[in-house]
Amino acid sequence: MRAVRALAKDPDAMAAALKLGPRQRTEIERNRALTTSATLPTIDRYTGVLYDALDAATLPAAARERAGAVVAVHSALLGLTGGLDPIPAYRLSADSRLPGLSLREHWSAVVAKELRAVPGLLLDLRSEGYVALGPAPVRPDSVYLRVLGEGPDGVVRALNHFNKHAKGELTRALLLAEELPDTVDDLLAWAPGAGFTLRRHSPTEVALIV
């Protein structure tokens, strides 16, 4: 946070570091006011395709409470944030460059340690850029989710456009589920009844077919 606030004092340097266009300069002021601005719960703060599909504002109270207990969002600024943790508005991404501070070196060991401490099933929905800022543990109940599309020819291919939307829908369905899966096998067994096609992709990955 200190590095971001310091960089925000030089608007041109911050615009270059965060790849901001002329219409995005308001993001610089947000970064300058990090420690004094109003906060929102994590699942309400973030925007974009994944969060549109999650539609956190319409989740029942019990589902939001579950999000606070089992959802973590990997923030380039704050590390792992709980689903209901209060966070300020900011602009920083996994590929942002801060003078004198490597995000990978700063976060990797800390985030990896936190993830190793998570008991039971760990379903990693992060992009590969954020995985690089803190890998998940390698163990039977820790799996990475890969979104794939199956064409008319039966060939399965990686998807970009529907990737985040599918992850948001899956997260919402899990938050609304009667019970959360305890194991990868439980997750795979739950999926068809919830309208999802999940398959083992490798020993460390599951594929969501859309």
- For the chain, the domains span 39-88+101-209
Residue 15: which H helix or E strand, with range?
helix 11-17
The answer to whether residue 175 scores a pLDDT higher than 80 is yes
- Please give the model's pTM, rounded to 2 decimal places: 0.91
pLDDT digits (tens, 9 = 90+) for 137-159: 999 999 999 999 877 666 667 76
Of 149, 143, 78, nearest in space to 110 by CA: 78
Can you tell me the mean pLDDT for 178-200?
Answer: 97
pLDDT digits (tens, 9 = 90+) for 115-127: 999 999 999 999 9
pLDDT digits (tens, 9 = 90+) for 59-115: 999 999 999 999 999 999 999 999 999 999 999 999 998 989 999 999 999 999 999
- Tokens 């938050």 locate to 175
